[in-house]
Structure 1
Amino acid sequence: MSTSPKSRRRVLVGVSTVAAMSLGVGVAAGSRIQSPEDAAAKTAPPKASQITVPVEKKALASKVVGRGDTSFDGAVNVRVETSGLKTPAVVTGKVPAVGSTIKEGKVLLELAGRPVIGLAGVLPMYRTLSPGSRGPDVLQLEQTLDRLGFDPGTVDSKYDSGTANAVEQLYEAAGYEAPEAEEQLTQAVDGADKAVDQAKNALRQAQAALKQAKATPGKKDFTVEQGQVDDAAENLDDAQDELEDAEFKAGTPLPVSEVVFVKSLPRRVDDVKVERGGVVNGVVMSVSGASLVVTVKVDAQTKEQLKTGMAASFDLGDGTIIPATVRRISRNADQYDVVVAPKSLTAAQLERLREANVRVTIPVKSTNGKVLAVPVAALSAGSDGSSRVEVLRDGKIELVPVKVGLSADGFAEVTATGDAKLTEGDQVVVGK
């Protein structure tokens, strides 16, 4: 069977088309076939580039930051010595309220109708003081009276009439009658006063007898009469001395039950352990400092950076910063208690801070104005242990040796050493 020319042309066109299609598929498939090396090259991460930050000029300040609990400073128990009372130690009034403030020279409590006055002092009241008493407790009393404006005369360790007068003024200022001397002492004054009157009468009689003798005609010897006058005058002097001594001893005393010495005043009443009508038996109240403080616990390493008197501050939580001062640092087991006292507080702030926990900041060191600073991450150590930074200049890394100063808040003060140069805006490497 023969094939026409027209049919042969159709076959050739079909074969050509199939061949062209096959070639295209092969080229496409070939373009998707890669060697292992080509595949690895295309999937590998890009070459690392330098991460840099500019050198800055800034002021640096290192500080200790921590949280602390608020409290009222220095809680102590107030105890009244009632052994000198001749009646039961019944509380008759002036019972303070918790949260109130006791002040120096004011009445803390009233026992058996008599005041208990608070005074500032280290030595407790352990005996009744009266004219003639001597000792360090008398010196403390006189120093306190003098500080409060009640003149005790010479401030020494002797309780004299000046001290007694100052004690009277103390009671008058507190609104109470001054205490009286014991009955036998007042009786001794009465007896001495009568003796003075008798001595005066005896002297008058002796003087009258001498006068009469001198008026007697012919009498020339007045030895006896004059001797009687001299004896009577001497007896009067003795009687007057005894009266002065009795009056001195009967001067205003300070009963042991009517004064309480506390190390410092004013203070806040934290707890009251008595009530009106009750009988005192030991501690009558617990008081703390009237000033609020914040206590922050730090470790031994941090404690070495701190000292008493340093400026500090704490945050009320609403952005209000309260200036404060480090009052004291004391060891507490394996830690240290840093007590920070505010310089001043309003009544509202004081109430808000009761039993609160606040953020405390204590600046330790600071630069003198702005200095060149880099992130701590930019620092590295050379083979000799010296510090250096890597500076990117014109696409190349240059090692610049530096002296490192204060470090704070992730930055360090740096100064280029030798002939090296480092200026604000230089790009230092902090990572790759």
Structure 2
Amino acid sequence: MALVVAFLVGTQVRSPWESAIANSHADPLVTAEVTTRSLGPRTTPVTGRVRLGTDQTVLAMGTDPQVVTGVQHGAGELLMPGQVLATVSGRPVIALDLPFPLYRDVLPGDEGDDVRVLQQALAALGFYTGTVDGRYGEGTARAIEALYAGAGASAPSPSAEADALVAAAEDAVAEALAAESTSSSDTGAPDGPTAAAVSARAVADARTDLTEARFAALTPLPMSEVTRVGAEGATVLTVAGVGTVLGEDPLATLRSGSPSVTARVDAAQVTAFEIGSTVQTTKVGDPGVAHEATVVAIGEFDTGGGDEGALPGRDITLSLDDATGLEDGSDILVTATGTAPAVEGLSVPVVALREDAGSTFVLRDAGGDGSGNSSAIGPEDRVDVDVLATNDGYAIVDAADLREGDRVVVSGSR
């Protein structure tokens, strides 16, 4: 009997070794109490990347061979709308402020968005005063001629076929007028009035054909003679030298836009940055290269990932007035320098904050004591919060459904 009792007792007793094995598979729940505290602004730097502008490659287009015969704007110079970048095979490449590059030669009678933006660009330079209607007519052709004259270049010529049609139409008008004159002198003949009417109609038709031929022969705009820049121009980074025979190599590389910095920040950091606020930047590895920047945009929440394995958070964009000592793609430290007052309110540890595509939230412990004996966490325990400030590992939050003394989940699960 004693042996039986001893066996039963032994089956109910767990050794320390057995307890350790069981606990090694557990995911303990760690919670923290919601308290009231006051936090000052956070100044921990975040890492961003410099972009000195948007680079654009200018390719030579047109018939072969493409030979650089002149360079009007060299490397380091600012190319403005209406100016000539270079001449290729004797023809200019003129900069225009266009939202997209021309995708066809623009000819008289053409209609479309490309004609509309072309008219807008010419109007901005003071060359076009007509209605911006997206139709290439006489007013647009005259503006193109003024553009070339202003750039010190000869305007493009119509095609040989268009010129031939004009010449043929002019001859037809002359012949019709001569026939009309002859028929008018024979009005005494029985069929004289009928012949005169026929001649008059022939003259009218010939003049109509001439008008149409002259319209078709208005000044065109080859897309090979236009490159795109912004209203503030673009800096020439590289340009092929005179005598270069262009193949697949570009004619030039341009950079437009202002220097900027983009940095990814999480919910605990974004409150330190406000649009319009000034921040301090220092180059990673060279703290002597320091500049002030201005916060100009704060993006929507991004779940992260991608090719570079970005962390979840929001992208802040900064404008740099001075980029001395910085290269395109440089890593840079960004530190908020504002003197915002301390914020007081409900606080939770920063590590308790969670994010998804729509908002920032915490998980409230359903049991409330963090002992691991409370009921499982369910959807009702998600509490959306607005982060007002972060510092020293804590965040001040605004949440209608959160109270002082509540417990929020820091890590683990039930």
Bin of the TM-score, shorter chain as denominator length: 0.5 to 0.7
Partners of 1:176 and 1:262 lie apart in 2 by 19
3-state SS of 1:170 partner: helix
Structure 2: where are the runs of 5+ without partners? 1-35, 283-287, 350-363, 370-385, 399-414
What is the TM-score with the length of structure 1 in the denominator?
Answer: 0.60
Equivalent position of 1:181 in the other structure: 158
CA deviation digits over 1:152-208, x for unaligned, max 9?
A: 744344322232222222212222121110122112212212222222233233334
2:45 to 65, 81, 87: 65
3-state SS of 2:246 partner: coil
Paired amino acid for 2:71: K
2:324 to 351, 354, 369: 351
Structure 1: where are the runs of 5+ without partners? 1-54, 214-221, 387-403, 416-432
CA deviation digits over 1:375-398, x for unaligned, max 9?
A: 999xxx999859xxxxxxxxxxxx
Partners of 2:145 and 2:219 lie apart in 1 by 7
User: Contact 1:80–1:260 (CA<8 Å) still a contact in 2?
Assistant: no
Equivalent position of 1:408 in the other structure: 390
Cα 1:303–1:141 change in 2 (3 A) is farther
1:191 aligns with 2:168: yes
Cα 1:111–1:225 change in 2 (3 A) is same
Shift in Å, 1:353: 4.2
3-state SS of 2:158 partner: coil
Measured on the aligned residues, the alpha-carbon RMSD in Å equals 4.5
Equivalent position of 1:239 in the other structure: 206
Aligned residues: 322
Cα 1:64–1:169 change in 2 (3 A) is farther
CA deviation digits over 1:352-376, x for unaligned, max 9?
A: 4455654324699x97x66558999
Cα 1:235–1:383 change in 2 (3 A) is closer
Cα 1:373–1:184 change in 2 (3 A) is closer
Equivalent position of 1:286 in the other structure: 253
2:62 to 67, 82, 97: 82
User: Contact 1:116–1:259 (CA<8 Å) still a contact in 2?
Assistant: yes
Equivalent position of 1:326 in the other structure: 297
Identity rate of aligned residues, in percent?
A: 27
Partners of 1:229 and 1:309 lie apart in 2 by 84
Equivalent position of 1:277 in the other structure: 243
Paired amino acid for 1:325: V
Equivalent position of 1:226 in the other structure: 193
Partners of 2:102 and 2:269 lie apart in 1 by 40
Equivalent position of 2:82 in the other structure: 105
Paired amino acid for 2:391: D
Partners of 2:245 and 2:274 lie apart in 1 by 44
What is the TM-score with the length of structure 2 in the denominator?
Answer: 0.62
Equivalent position of 2:378 in the other structure: none
Higher gyration radius (CA): 1
Shift in Å, 1:79: 1.6
Structure (1/2) with the larger helix percentage: 1
3-state SS of 1:351 partner: coil
User: Contact 1:61–1:363 (CA<8 Å) still a contact in 2?
Assistant: no
Deviates further, 174-183 or 188-197: 188-197
Partners of 1:72 and 1:414 lie apart in 2 by 37
